Amino acid sequence: MEFIDERTQDGVTRRSFSVTVAGERVPAVIWAPAGARGPRPLVLMGHGGSQHKKTPGISARAAIYARKFGYATLAIDAPGHGDRVSREAAEAVARDTLARVTGQVASGWTPERLKLMAERTASAVPEWNAALAAAVGFDFVGSDGPVGYWGVSMGTAIGVPFVAQAPRITAAVFGLAGLRPGAAEFEAAAQQITIPVEFVFQWDDAVATREQGVALFDAFGSVQKTMHINPGGHMDIPDYEGASWERFFTRHLGVAAAAVEHAAAAE
Amino acid sequence: MEFIDERTQDGVTRRSFSVTVAGERVPAVIWAPAGARGPRPLVLMGHGGSQHKKTPGISARAAIYARKFGYATLAIDAPGHGDRVSREAAEAVARDTLARVTGQVASGWTPERLKLMAERTASAVPEWNAALAAAVGFDFVGSDGPVGYWGVSMGTAIGVPFVAQAPRITAAVFGLAGLRPGAAEFEAAAQQITIPVEFVFQWDDAVATREQGVALFDAFGSVQKTMHINPGGHMDIPDYEGASWERFFTRHLGVAAAAVEHAAAAE
C-alpha cells in the first residue's frame, strides 16, 4: 500500500492511497470521521460505468455515512476508469455510457463488450480484495468490524463476483443490473451470495430488461433479500432509496460506537 | 355516527363508534394520542381477510403511530368480519383463510368466491367513505389534514377501489394481492390511483402469482410507486417493511405538530 495524502473537510477525513495488483496501480480512497480511532463499520462502494472512486454520489454518501453513523467508506477506481485512464479516454467512455443508459443507443451486449466486461471483472475482484485488506489495516477500521458493499450498474457487475468470494462482507446493496441469458458465471456468483441483499431496480431501464432484473434478484442465494422496483430509467433512482440504503446498512452493520457517543453528546 | 366508548392506555386513546350505511351498522375504531387536540394526519387501515378492525397488527401500529408521529388511525370491520358476524362464523372464515394463504388449499378464485368478494367491496367502499367522513369530524383529526391508507391482502382488494374514489387520500400502502386476468373493474380502479403508492409483495405467496403481483403494480396510475418484493409466503412480510411504511407515511403525510413539540420536549 502506498499512502498518498489526506484532507479533512466538514468533520470527514478522506485519505488517498493505492494498492498494486498484478503490476497495476489501483487508486483508492477511504473516508472516515475526522479524528476517528478504533474499529467501525466499513462500506465498500463500487462506482458505475464511466464514473470513478470519488464520483459525486459516492463522495456525498461517504461523508454522510461518516457523520451520521461513524462509518468508514472505501472506493477504488475500476479498471479503465478514473485515474487509471487519460481524461480523454474517460470522457469517451462517459459519452458512450450516457448514450447506452439513456437508451439513445441499444445497450448492445456485443461479444466484444461482454469480453471487455468479463476481463474488467476478472481484474477488479483481486483489486477489491487488495484494497479491502489494506483498508482493514487502518487503525480506524480494524480487522474485526462489519463490512458492507454498495454498488449499482457496473458496481453490481463487478460487485456480485467480488462479494461472492469475500466472506468479510455481511450485507450488500446491488441494483440497476440484470441476469442475461447465458451469463453462467455471473449467475453462479449470485447464487453463492447468501448475505442480506437489497436490490434496487428501475422498471424502465435501457440497460436491463424487467425479466433480467427479476432473474438476478431470483438468483441471489440469500434468505433475506428485497427487490425495490421504481418506475423510470437508469438515472432515475428516487432519493428515498438512498435513505433506504442507510437503514439497510445500519440494520446489518450497526453504527460506530463513537457515533453513538457523538449523537448522545449533541442532544 | 354513534359513539360507543373510549379507553386510554400507554398514552393512546382508542375511541369506538359506528356508522350506519345502507341499514348496516359498521363498527369503527379510531386511535389518537391521549389528550390530542387540533388537526393531525390520519391513516386508514384496512384489515385482511378473517381479521378485524382491532387485529393485533393494526392495534400495535396505531399505537406506535400515535406515540411516534401524533397520528390518528381509523379502522373498520369489513363486511362479514369482526363484530359484524358471530364468533363461530368468524372462526370458520379464519380457518378457510389460513388454509388458502398457506397454500394448503388452492387459492381457488371460483366464480362464487369472486362474486362474494365483489359484493363485499361494493359494500365496503361506501362504508369507508362514511367512516372517513365521521373521523374527520373529530376535533383531534379535522377536515383539512393529510389522509393515508394502509391495507394489504383483502385490505388491498377493498382498498384499491376505495382509494380510487377518495380524493382526500394522498398516499397508500398496498400489497399481498395481484391483478387477476379479467378483473377489469379492479384494474380500472388501480389505474385511477395516481397518488404515491408503496406496494409490498411476497414472492412465494399462495394467494397471488408473481405475474399477478407485478401486473397490479404496473396497473397503478401513480408516477411515484415502489414495489418491495421479499421471498416467502403471505404471512412472511419482514419486519423492516413495517419500518418502511412508517417512513412512507411520514414522508407523504408529515407528522402532527404536537408530535414535533413532544419530541423536542423529550430531548
Q: Check A229 against B226: CB less than 8 A apart.
A: yes
Partner residues linked to A227 by β-bridges: A199, B229
Q: Check A240 against B247: CB less than 8 A apart.
A: yes
What residues in chain B have their Cβ under 8 A from chain A's Cβ atoms? 210, 214, 217, 223-231, 238, 240, 243-244, 247, 251, 267
Q: Report the range of poorest mean pLDDT among A58-72, A90-104, A131-145.
A: A90-104
The answer, yes or no, to whether residue A46 has pLDDT greater than 90, is: yes
How far is residue B82's CA from residue B103's CA, in Å, rounded to a whole number?
24
- Give pLDDT tens digits along chain B (267 positions): 899 999 999 999 999 999 999 999 999 999 999 999 999 999 999 999 999 999 999 999 999 999 999 999 999 999 999 999 998 888 888 888 888 888 777 766 788 888 888 899 999 999 999 999 999 999 999 998 999 999 999 999 999 999 999 999 999 999 999 999 889 999 999 999 999 999 999 999 999 999 999 999 999 999 999 999 999 999 999 999 999 999 999 999 999 986 655 555 554
- Positive/negative CA dihedral, A148, A153, A155, A160: positive
% helix / strand / coil in chain A, to the nearest 5? 40, 25, 35
Predicted structure pTM score = 0.91
Q: Rounded to 5 degrees, what are φ and ψ at A116?
A: -60, -45
Q: Check B228 against A224: CB less than 8 A apart.
A: no
How far is residue B98's CA from residue B95's CA, in Å, rounded to a whole number?
5
Per-residue DSSP letters for A23-62? Answer: TEEEEEEEEEETT--S---EEEEEPPTT--TT-HHHHHHH
C-alpha to C-alpha distances, A236 to A171, A229, A232, A241, B220, nearest whole angstrom:
24, 11, 6, 11, 18
B49 contacts B85 by C-beta, under 8 angstroms: no
> Among A211, A190, A194, A203, which residue's Cα sits nearest to residue A241?
A203
- Section A16-28 average pLDDT: 96
C-alpha to C-alpha distances, B263 to A251, B45, B69, B255, nearest whole angstrom:
23, 25, 9, 11
Residues of B in contact with A230 (CB under 8 A): 225-226
With residue A6 as reference, give the H or E element that holds it.
strand A2-9
Residues of B in contact with A231 (CB under 8 A): 223-225
Residues of B in contact with A214 (CB under 8 A): 210
Residues of A in contact with B238 (CB under 8 A): 224, 226
The answer, yes or no, to whether residue A182 has pLDDT greater than 60, is: yes
Q: Which grid cell is A153?
A: 450498474
B171 contacts B249 by C-beta, under 8 angstroms: yes
- Angstroms from A118 CA to nearest CA on chain B: 29
Q: What is the structure's pLDDT at A104?
A: 77
Q: Check A247 against B243: CB less than 8 A apart.
A: yes
The answer, yes or no, to whether residue A265 has pLDDT greater than 80, is: no
Q: What is the structure's pLDDT at A247?
A: 97
Q: Check B217 against A229: CB less than 8 A apart.
A: yes
Cβ atoms within 10 Å, residue A77: 26
Question: Radius of gyration of chain A from Cα atoms?
Answer: 18
Nearest CA in chain B to A237: B226
Cβ atoms within 10 Å, residue B76: 31
- Determine the residue among B203, B209, B217, B251 to mutate to test chain A binding: the one whose Cβ has the most chain A Cβ atoms within 10 Å: B203
Residues of B in contact with A229 (CB under 8 A): 217, 226-227, 229
Q: What is the structure's pLDDT at B265?
A: 55
Q: Report the range of poorest mean pLDDT among A49-58, A111-120, A172-181.
A: A111-120
Q: How far is CA B187 from the centre of its chain?
A: 19
B74 contacts B19 by C-beta, under 8 angstroms: no
Say which of A210, A214, A228 has its CB closest to residue B226. Answer: A228
Nearest CA in chain B to A220: B231
With residue B62 as reference, give the H or E element that holds it.
helix B56-69
A177 contacts A157 by C-beta, under 8 angstroms: yes
